[in-house]
Amino acid sequence: MVKAAVLYEPKQRMPIVDLEQESPKPGEVRVRMAAAGICASDHHVMMGETSFPMPIVLGHEGAGVVDEIGEGVTTVKKGDRCILSFVANCGHCRSCRTGSPQICDTNRLTGTRQYDGTFRLKDSDGTEIHQFAKLGVFAESIVVPHQACFPVADDVPMDVASLIGCSVTTGVGGVINQPSITSGMTVAVFGSGGVGLNAIQGARLLNASKIIAVDIHDHKLEFTYKFGATDVINSRAEDPAKKIQELTDGGVDFAFDTFGASITTEQMMDSLRKGGTGVLVGLAPEGMTAGVNLVDLVRNQKTLLGSYYGSASPHETFGKLVDFYKKGMIDVDSLITRRYSLGEINEAYDALARGEDGRGVIVFD
Ligand SMILES: [Zn+2]
Ligand SMILES: [Zn+2]
């Protein structure tokens, strides 16, 4: 039996339930969870803004220790400490073959089930339980594809490793993996949640000449200075695009929308200089669209891009980020502002919904 937080219906609290867990099948491993991050993508599912099959164990930002391996697994062994990837890519679909494993086709087709289309969890009624992103890290132990595991050395703390699994890779990776971004550019980052703070420190890593943080909470903006923001704008108090143009003599080279909404994407595009690039990183609620000024896009030769999971192979980005962390070039420790037990999962999401600074992490015994 494993304890897990199960979402049975949107907008309901998640009870901690004892679930029956099957052993890993060929190509799978079992991971004892050590730390799991409180990310907004799970909150979208809880609120019914993104539809997912239920019941489901949420959580996709985590780290743990491999404690059992299935037949044929050679990439990890029992006892390995791992960062978990929420896209355990198949390795042979068109996206994987063409160098974009972060948008693996097969992974999406099988979704919240394992690659053979079946489940590893059920409750006492025999109801089969989905695992978010094939992970569902809000559980003491998880059975996942071996591709989800990226081994890390003992000197990387588990809470840090868990954050590299989503927010650090999405934020820092989404900035540093853009092929046309270079040192000295001006950057604006919309949203200063977990991903936003990481996009800010990704821009600092690239020696951006200006890093402008935009948010609606003053306390969150204050927190962004720690990660490299040079200027901050409260978009409730003033028009961010106008202010950014003033600060940069006509607009930024690169802007990132880490929040993911019509208004922030529109503001992001309006804040670019001629020839500038807007990168949408945050996942918006399903069905949301944005109004893009088509004349502005053409006349000013702007680019609008989407970036998923750091725009590159997650394992490649994990490796770089672990290295940056060890050298003190990125700050992951200060991102972690609150720690919870699994039983406090609902309170942890209440804090996220209230807009508290930094990241909450569930620490397992
Ligand atoms: Zn996430
Ligand atoms: Zn694939």
Centre of ligand 2 from the C-alpha of residue 191, in Å: 31
pLDDT of residue 365: 85
Average pLDDT over residues 113-122: 97
DSSP characters for 193-255? SHHHHHHHHHHHHTT-SEEEEEES-HHHHHHHGGGT-SEEEETTTS-HHHHHHHHHTS-EEEE
- Exposed, middle or buried by CB within 10 Å (0-12, 13-18, 19+), for 347? middle
**CA dihedral sign of residues 178, 222, 38, 338:** positive
Is the per-residue pLDDT at 6 higher than 90? yes
- State yes or no: pLDDT of 282 exceeds 90: yes
Q: How far is the CA of 165 from the centre of ligand 2 (A)?
A: 18
- Residues constituting the chain: 365
Give the number of whichever ligand sits closest to the CA of residue 92: 2
* Mean pLDDT computed over 32-54: 94
User: Could you read off the pLDDT of 217-244 as tens digits, one per residue?
Assistant: 999 999 999 999 999 999 999 999 999 9
pLDDT at position 11, please? Answer: 95
Identity of the amino acid at 214: V
pLDDT at 86: 98
Q: Which pLDDT band, with edges at 50, 70 and 90, does 136 fall under?
A: very high
Domain residues of the chain, as ranges?
A: 2-165+331-363, 171-308
- Report whether pLDDT(355) > 90: no
Q: How confident is residue 358, by pLDDT bands cut at 50, 70 and 90?
A: confident
| CATH node for 2-165+331-363 | 3.90.180.10
First to last CA, the chain: 16
pLDDT at 256: 98
Starting at the edge strand that comes first in sequence, how are the strands of the sheet with 252-257 ordered? 231-234, 210-215, 186-190, 252-257, 272-280, 303-306
Predicted local distance difference test score (pLDDT) of residue 216: 96
Task: Please state, rounded to an integer, the average pLDDT across all residues of the chain.
Answer: 97
**pLDDT tens track for 323-348:** 999 999 999 999 999 999 999 999 99
Nearest to 314 by CA among 196, 143, 201, 149: 149
| pLDDT tens-digit readout, 71-90 | 999 999 999 999 999 999 99
Confidence (pLDDT) at 285? 87
CB 257 within 8 A of CB 282: yes
DSSP for residue 172: I
Name the DSSP letter for residue 190: E
Distance 125 CA to ligand 1 centre (A): 30
Q: Please give the helix or strand (H or E) that residue 67 lies within, else none.
A: strand 62-69
Question: Are 225 and 238 contacting, i.e. CB atoms less than 8 angstroms apart?
Answer: no
- CATH class of the domain at 171-308: alpha beta
Q: Which-ligand-closest: CA of 50?
A: 1
- Ligand number nearest to the C-alpha of 37: 1
Residues marked active site are found at: 39, 41, 44, 60, 166
Distance CA 362, CA 341 (A): 5
Alpha carbon dihedral 115, 118, 121, 122, in 10-degree steps, equals: 170
Residue 286 has pLDDT above 90, yes or no: no
The DSSP bridge pattern shows strands 81-84 and 149-151 to be antiparallel
In sequence order, which residues have a C-beta less than 8 Å from that of residue 287 and are 6 or more positions away?
none
Q: How far is the CA of 316 from the centre of ligand 2 (A)?
A: 15
Per-residue pLDDT at 168: 98
pLDDT at 87 (0 to 100): 98
Q: Which residues are CB-neighbours of 283 under 8 A, at least 6 positions away?
A: 41, 44, 50, 260
Backbone angles phi, psi at 261, to 5 degrees: -155, 165
> Which H/E stretch holds residue 41?
helix 40-46
pLDDT above 90: residue 356: no
